[in-house]
Chains A and B, each alone.
Chain A
Amino acid sequence: MSATTTRPAGTAATGTATGAPSMARDRAAGAGRGLRSVALALASVLLLAALWEGTKLLVPDDGWSVGEVRLLPRTTDLAMPHVSDMVARLVEPVTSARGAPALWEAVVLAAATSLRIAAVGWVIGVVVGFALALVMQRFRLAESAVLPLVILSQTVPLIALAPLVKGWGNKLELGSFVWEPWMSVAVIASYLAFFPVAVGALRGLQSPDAIHRELLRAYAAGWAQTLLRLRLPASVPHLLPALRLAAASAVIGTVVAEVSTGMPGGTGRMILEQANFASSDPAKPWAPIFGAVALGLVASGVVVLLGAGLRRYRRAEVAA
């Protein structure tokens, strides 16, 4: 009575059809999708540039107003420099001083500083957010007590928070440990970043079906084992978008906190400083803004790469 012979030919055929070849096809399709999305992203940047130039061409210099309300912006070279001017300005030196680096170099340097701080803020935010989600999943009472606070926390404006965090940090004395300005910025960034992680991770941890929870209960699994074997893997599809959102939030938080705590060296401060050149060198203030945009793209791109290794956890729920 050989067991293997009981497999009917029909199911074997279905099996090979959906087997290894389909995985290769999936990969090829994945690469195709990747190329496609890069092409689409480039196209949308070009479209934006075309829209910008089109506005400059069609809308009168003084904008377009109905009564007192200006519906379309001024389109002078001062208010809306040509795309070509903005790009050209990037390769020129920052100042006329001798040996000054090119503007793009300064922008990249500032963006790198901000990225490091945002990364620290992201990590803190992810750890705190995830810990909160775990506590809320474990204790139903905690969910009803903490979740409203988590949501409430996001209504506090960052501008109000910045001086507080800076003040607390400066009062902190721990032996030879010195609170540095960038730490305040990272803490504020984490304050924005933890929110999507807490909410997304909670949803993810609560996502397993009753049938899977009962299965693990039948295996006499405790909370920790259920977490490890079921809730964590099941949370990945919810967690990845949350991490990406957290990366974008960390970047915004960093830039805003740099401005409101007055920390030099980062993109936020650079935006503030170069806004002074709006009339004398109108293309210059746009450079750090591009830097901030690139920063956000790089940050969320890194998180997407992190998610690529977790593809097996994103397999669709099986349909019987």
Chain B
Amino acid sequence: MSAVAVEATGVGRTFPGRSGTSVTALEGVDLTVAAGEFVSLIGPSGCGKSTLLRLVADLDRPTSGTLTVFGRSPEQARLAHDYGIAFQQAGLLPWRTVRANIELPLSMHGVGRTARRRRASDLLALVGLTDFAEHFPDQLSGGMQQRVAIARALAEEPSLLLMDEPFGALDEMTRERLQTELVRICAETRAAVVFVTHSIPEAVFLSDRVVVMSARPGRIRDVVDVSLGRGTDRDDDLRQDAAYFDAVTRVRAALHDEAGHAVRARGAEVR
């Protein structure tokens, strides 16, 4: 397997608009995500960060440039189940129990019943939901649903995890707890992660590198190296650390000095 998880060269995506006009969501994006690396995409609404993630997931196709996932096309990577994915909504199937939801990708790809059960039990333990295996999604809180979604994304031990604001709909306390869990999980699974977020502290806390994007057209503005250590080095104490605040300041500066007031008014969340 290639040491590079995602490689984008000059990637652009233009959506045809009404009456001949077109909207450029993404333009000239060059980005390399190494295997096992945690990269966050941050930027104001409309900067194309979700679009970029969808291109990597092959839920959408670029209109220019080339994009490879582990050295193959995004479509091949998708068909080969190379990545796991989680969205802002948990997106659990309401008629399946928590366990059955986690087993869904496994059963669709022909994993046997006993292997499926064992894997689901491991994942339930990993996200701390062992006692809720037979519950249905509507019996869980939003944070618990999101943890199920993360377990489901991890089910096939993907070497790439794509996450589109997975904690966006959660309250701050749940959010911080899940961030800590995600850091731990990534350290254990050694998966590369592309993580879309609105939140500067979230991006800094989680990432090896933070990719700062600007809007209209969506392009990469700056890449901020965070390098606050891996896995268990990152715990809640890190949130009080000077290096952490320094990185937050650098990302904020990169976000704000770009297009000036227009972008600030539109508002990347600064919390």
Contacts and interface: CB of A to CB of B under 8 A. Distances in A.
Interface of A: 1, 3-8, 11-12, 14-15, 18-19, 22, 209, 211-212, 214-221, 225, 229-230, 233, 236, 312-313, 315-320
B128 interface: yes
B108 A221 contact: yes
Given A15-B135, A214-B59, A320-B146, A219 B105 contact: yes
Given A15-B135, A219-B108, A229-B108, A3 B89 contact: no
A260 B154 CA distance: 63
A217 B58 CA distance: 9
Contacts of A8: 177
B55 to A, nearest CB: 13
Interface stretch (B65-73, B137-145, B190-198, B255-263): B137-145
Interface string B130-155: 11100111111111111000000000
Given A7-B129, A225-B108, A229-B104, A316 B81 contact: no
A238 to B, nearest CB: 14
Interface of B: 57-59, 78-81, 83, 85, 87, 89-95, 104-105, 108-109, 125-132, 135-146, 169, 177, 181, 184, 232
Contacts of B184: 1, 6
B57 A320 contact: no
A4 B138 CA distance: 22
Given A315-B138, A318-B92, A219 B109 contact: yes
Given A1-B184, A212-B93, A233-B93, A22 B139 contact: yes
Contact of B93 (A7, A11, A230, A236): A230
Contacts of A15: 131-132, 135, 139-140, 144
A156 B108 CA distance: 45
Given A4-B125, A4-B130, A12-B131, A19 B139 contact: yes
A234 B124 CA distance: 25
Nearest to B81: A220
A219 B181 CA distance: 24
A312 B95 CA distance: 5
A209 to B, nearest CB: 8
Contact of A320 (B105, B108, B125, B145): B145
Given A211-B87, A218-B58, 5 more contacts: A15-B132, A15-B144, A313-B95, A319-B142, A320-B169
Contacts of B132: 15, 19
Contacts of A219: 81, 104-105, 108-109
Nearest to A315: B94
Most chain A CB atoms below 10 A, which of B83, B91, B145: B91
A282 B234 CA distance: 89
23 contacts: A1-B184, A1-B232, A4-B130, A7-B129, A14-B141, A15-B135, A15-B144, A214-B59, A216-B108, A218-B78, A218-B85, A219-B105, A219-B108, A220-B78, A229-B93, A229-B104, A233-B93, A312-B95, A317-B94, A318-B92, A318-B94, A320-B90, A320-B145
